[in-house]
Structure 1
């Protein structure tokens, strides 16, 4: 699988998985535009660190690279960067929305500013980037957009309310946006990875750290960037495994209007909770149609 003549834009590209994504695509021929907010940081030797290091690593592979010291929550800056990329290379084929922050905090001490900063970076930043590249992708009839989510977003974790909310918001963004991209060959998916990085090192036991390499994550990312990528899907990958995720609904219990009281739900809770079989729905409209069919069936009403 090659990405020759493709232009990829990656946010959060100065370290961790963002840097790895950029190098993986460059190794397979992509031109890469690197976006992060640390380009002016210096390490103790005085050399440029972070974004500049990623930029130099791409150049060392013999591929073209642009870099932007940019906070993705700055929509004006995002639009300017995208304009420069298109002016320089003529197109944008791939967008990997990887930029994010992670600052666990118990809800009692979570401030409005902290909440807003989290959403501005993880959720709004991904929206801004996608909004900026979308017209170009539509015009050229090709695009691949990946939202990088997190296990805490899908399932929740202690002291992760702002992080979970912003990462789960990306799932909702994929679920609707992919429908608007179908007619333009723009494919929108999410990737939920977990690897050993500076951000996650203190959350993994020493005995399992060697399991959390980046191999399955890089493979999944490139699959979602490829010509044959699916759309509207959610992949979870870590420790060598790749799986497909989707919101599921357990079998419903029906209550007539006369019977439907909170006490009835309480009494039926064990039946409602994880009742089999599990139902999958392709969209919100599909869910609404399922509700309508259930209600009609219970009332012996025929609907088309």
Structure 2
């Protein structure tokens, strides 16, 4: 299998620098027509300039590809709608959305201003929602779409001083899970990337001996696979330094408590069993979790339930 994106149209947000730039260049190199979106601001989201996006678009065109630059603020619905309209006017379809735009305003939770907290949420999480909502009806009508959400292990596992960033990145998990289910019928596949690479947002946070290995272009192959025609759906892919791992949310085998055990003390007494990871379940939807929990109660009562 050779992955190509010929005749596909892609929007890549935050594509003026770092990971987004390499994703956009990679898509174009494999045949995609690319909307290079970037507000052109500082890493904290302040300011704005069309220059960064235009440079990447010009780089694509100079290599023989097709690209247009766009400076939409991903959290602004009107600007995103205009960006999507431009792509449709230019090329008549949108096959791929790579949500990559982001900012950093790191501080410990105790010290962080709520305005900064909200701004980080607006760009990362709300911006992802706005862009995805704008292309969703197009992809449904086409009966084809590939959407990638850029998450982070700071949200999935935690990282000191990144409460806002972590909340925004973890919130994408719920969006992916639901859109995976809602997009199945129309061949819209939704995945999530949890990358780590040296970019202008992370260069001051990473150890010096790791920087040489953690090139952004070593992440891009994983992103492009998750956007390909034969991509899976509902996959969280960890990616750094050319290494890739699937991240999975699991649940332990349920322990049913009844009678005098159905108390806080009972939960405490059985907590080691409840936390036993010997039999893990990967749930496909919320009802499967009910089957795990309520099913144990039905089994103990000698009956059955259906979900």
- Do both proteins adopt the same fold according to a TM-score greater than 0.5, normalized to the shorter chain? yes
> Where does 1:23-42 land on structure 2 (aligned, <5 Å)?
23-38=25-40
Tell me the residue number matched to 1:131: 133
Q: 1:229 aligns with which of 231, 239, 258?
A: 231
> Using the alignment, how far apart are the partners of 2:14 and 2:72 within structure 1?
10
Tell me the residue number matched to 1:60: 62
Cα distance, 1:193 vs structure 2? 0.8
> Where does 1:210-249 land on structure 2 (aligned, <5 Å)?
210-249=212-251
Tell me the residue number matched to 2:266: 264
Backbone CA RMSD of aligned residues: 1.8
Cα distance, 1:153 vs structure 2? 1.0
> Using the alignment, how far apart are the partners of 1:142 and 1:199 within structure 2?
33
Cα distance change, pair 235–66 in 1 and its aligned pair in 2 (3 A): same
Cα distance, 1:242 vs structure 2? 1.3
> What are the superposed Cα offsets for residues 173-214 of structure 1, whole Å, 9 maximum, x if unpaired?
000111111111111111111112121222221222222133
Give SS of 2:136's match. Answer: helix
> Using the alignment, how far apart are the partners of 1:156 and 1:218 within structure 2?
23
Q: Residues 75 and 122 of structure 2 are in contact (CA less than 8 Å); yes or no, is this contact kept in structure 1?
A: yes
> What are the superposed Cα offsets for residues 259-287 of structure 1, whole Å, 9 maximum, x if unpaired?
22212222333333344221211111111
> Using the alignment, how far apart are the partners of 1:173 and 1:88 within structure 2?
29
Give SS of 2:183's match. Answer: helix
Tell me the residue number matched to 2:45: none
> Using the alignment, how far apart are the partners of 2:50 and 2:254 within structure 1?
58
Tell me the residue number matched to 1:78: 80
> Using the alignment, how far apart are the partners of 2:228 and 2:107 within structure 1?
37
> Using the alignment, how far apart are the partners of 2:41 and 2:293 within structure 1?
51
The more displaced of 71-80 and 244-253 is 244-253
Q: How many residues align?
A: 298
> Using the alignment, how far apart are the partners of 2:263 and 2:58 within structure 1?
65
> Using the alignment, how far apart are the partners of 1:39 and 1:111 within structure 2?
20
Give SS of 2:204's match. Answer: helix
Structure 2: any 5+ residue segments left out of the alignment? Answer: 43-48
Structure 1: any 5+ residue segments left out of the alignment? Answer: 41-46
Normalized against structure 2, the TM-score is what? 0.92
Cα distance, 1:48 vs structure 2? 7.3
Cα distance change, pair 80–48 in 1 and its aligned pair in 2 (3 A): closer
